[in-house]
């Protein structure tokens, strides 16, 4: 798998229903997570308060290899398909 640090698409596209520090009700799809820093890296990566859904997400070439814009497009499509 290709690691694409600084993409941030997985912290924007999906809805998250569990609490996130600073977002107690989670976040809707398409909204940037408050924990995503200016370099598009998670500020709570590896910490226990990071939502389980975030920890379970694993980047994949099929999503991440095309760059941040393409990854966001793919993940938003997947989010809409699973509503």
State how far the Cα of 4 lies from the Cα of 48, in Å rounded to an integer.
23
pLDDT in tens, 65-75: 888 889 889 88
Domain that holds residue 42: 9-78
Q: Is 33 domain-assigned?
A: yes
Whether 73 is covered by a domain: the verdict is: yes
Reported as a single tens digit per residue, the pLDDT across 39-78 is 989 999 999 999 999 998 887 888 888 888 898 898 899 8
Residue 58 domain flag: yes
* Global confidence as pTM: 0.80
CB crowding 17-29: b at 16 or more within 10 Å, else e: eeebeebeebbeb
65 domain-assigned: yes
Domains contained in the chain, number: 1
Residue at 1 is within a domain: no
Specify if 60 maps to a domain. Answer: yes
End-to-end C-alpha distance for the chain, whole angstroms: 27
Q: Is residue 45 part of a domain?
A: yes
């Amino acid at each position: 798998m290709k690691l694409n640090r600084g993409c941030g698409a997985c912290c924007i596209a999906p809805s998250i229903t569990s609490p996130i520090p600073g977002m107690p009700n989670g976040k809707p799809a398409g909204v940037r997570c408050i924990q995503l820093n200016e370099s598009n890296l998670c500020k709570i990566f590896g910490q226990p308060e990071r939502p389980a859904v975030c920890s379970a997400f694993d980047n994949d070439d099929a999503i991440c290899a095309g760059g941040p814009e393409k990854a966001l497009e793919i993940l938003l499509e997947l989010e809409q398909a699973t509503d």
